[in-house]
Amino acid sequence: GESVGLHLPTLSVQEGDNSIINCAYSNSASDYFIWYKQESGKGPQFIIDIRSNMDKRQGQRVTVLLNKTVKHLSLQIAATQPGDSAVYFCAEGPNSGGYQKVTFGIGTKLQVIP
Amino acid sequence: DTAVSQTPKYLVTQMGNDKSIKCEQNLGHDTMYWYKQDSKKFLKIMFSYNNKELIINETVPNRFSPKSPDKAHLNLHINSLELGDSAVYFCASSQSYGRSYNSPLHFGNGTRLTVT
């Protein structure tokens, strides 16, 4: 369960540009997907979620796309701002005995260049 | 403020000691979790409780023992601490909506445990 040997992927984006963070999930039975943002010294913070019966969902400046065929999830951030700098996690939530068991990906560090 | 709060924020201790981390949520949720985040930022679920009942118990050494006195509290006790236990431990909560409807987890700000 430890991510030994793995490095946190980093995405550097110019302020004002759009950001796209990608995620591949592993469990074809997953029916719920969430994006979280984690700032330094804080816990993960919910951004947006999507259920498996949808392929796109929009929030304020963020859009999540779900491609179940290739088990791919992406988070698009429009007009990226310095405050968007953080580590972003995708998470999948198949039911486990009727209760959700949310499993996190390895995370992507977003660096916004002023 | 409505939140998931955990104490202490920092915990430095020596190998072999026993320590506890406390978590409380006032969001009215019925499900609570413990996650461990390693130095590479990898988040792994350890335990989950629903209405004081243990529902998820991942492969965690039995030195780790969660306790849920009520649905708003989930504590984590760790016996005989080892160097490899050093990590950030996050408490989270969510609402189960009758076991078939997923909802987002709300996280606390973590407890950074350093074992020397």
Is A61 domain-assigned? yes
Is A7 domain-assigned? no
CATH number of domain containing A44: 2.60.40.10
Interchain CB distance below 8 Å, B99 and A4: no
Interchain CB distance below 8 Å, B94 and A107: no
Q: Say what the pLDDT of residue B99 is.
A: 55
List chain B residues with pLDDT less than 50.
none
Structural domain span for residue A79: 17-92
Contact list in A for residue B58 (CB cut-off 8 A) is 1
Structural domain span for residue B37: 4-115
Chain B 37-66, residues with CB within 8 Å of chain A CB atoms: 38, 40-45, 48, 50, 55-56, 58-59
Could you tell me which chain B residue has the CA closest to the CA of A95? B100
Q: Say what the pLDDT of residue A1 is.
A: 35
Is A78 domain-assigned? yes
Query: By C-alpha distance, which of B40, B24, B20, B42 is closest to B32?
Result: B24
Is A109 domain-assigned? no
Query: In angstroms, rounded to a whole number, what is the distance separating the alpha carbons of residues B76 and B15?
Result: 17
For residues A32 and A85, the answer to whether their CB atoms sit within 8 Å is no
Is A48 domain-assigned? yes
Is A41 domain-assigned? yes
Q: Say what the pLDDT of residue A95 is.
A: 60
CATH number of domain containing B11: 2.60.40.10
pLDDT in tens, chain A (114 residues): 344 445 789 999 999 999 999 999 988 888 889 999 999 999 999 999 999 899 999 999 999 999 999 999 999 999 999 999 999 999 998 765 556 678 899 899 999 999
**Number of domains observed in the structure of chain A:** 1
Interchain CB distance below 8 Å, B43 and A104: yes
Is A104 domain-assigned? no
Is A84 domain-assigned? yes
**Number of domains observed in the structure of chain B:** 1
Contact list in A for residue B43 (CB cut-off 8 A) is 44, 89, 104, 107
For residues A105 and A44, the answer to whether their CB atoms sit within 8 Å is no
Q: CA of B75, closest CA in chain A: separation in Å?
A: 17
